[in-house]
Amino acid sequence: IGLFHAFIPDEGVRLVGCEPAGHGVETGEHAATLTAGEPGILHGSRSYVLQDDEGQITEPYSISAGLDYPGIGP
C-alpha cells in the first residue's frame, strides 16, 4: 500500500491491487491476508494475519515456495 501513496491524488493514475486468492477466499485455501486476515501479532509485529477464532496463526495456501507466509509479506 505504501507504494500507492504518492499516486493517490493523481486522477490520471488507476491504482489496482491484488492478492493471492488460491482456490478462492471462501474456501479457506488462499493467502489473502488483507481480504480475509484480521489484526494480530506475528513474530512480535502487529499486522493483518490469517488466524483462527482463538487468535492462533493458520496456514495460508500457496503452490509457490516462499509465498506461504501467514502475514502481509513483501
pLDDT at 63: 81
The total number of structural domains that make up the chain: 1
Which residue is it, cell 491491487?
A: 17
Model confidence pLDDT, tens digit, residues 18-72: 888 899 999 989 989 989 999 999 889 999 999 999 999 998 888 877 666 666 6
Range of the domain at 25: 1-74
Nearest-angstrom CA–CA distance, 3 and 52? 30
pLDDT in tens, 50-63: 999 999 999 888 88
Q: What is the dihedral of CA 24, 14, 9, 5, to 10 degrees?
A: 50
Residue located via cell numbers 486468492: 21
Question: What was the pLDDT predicted at 73?
Answer: 58
Strands (E), the chain: 38-42, 45-49
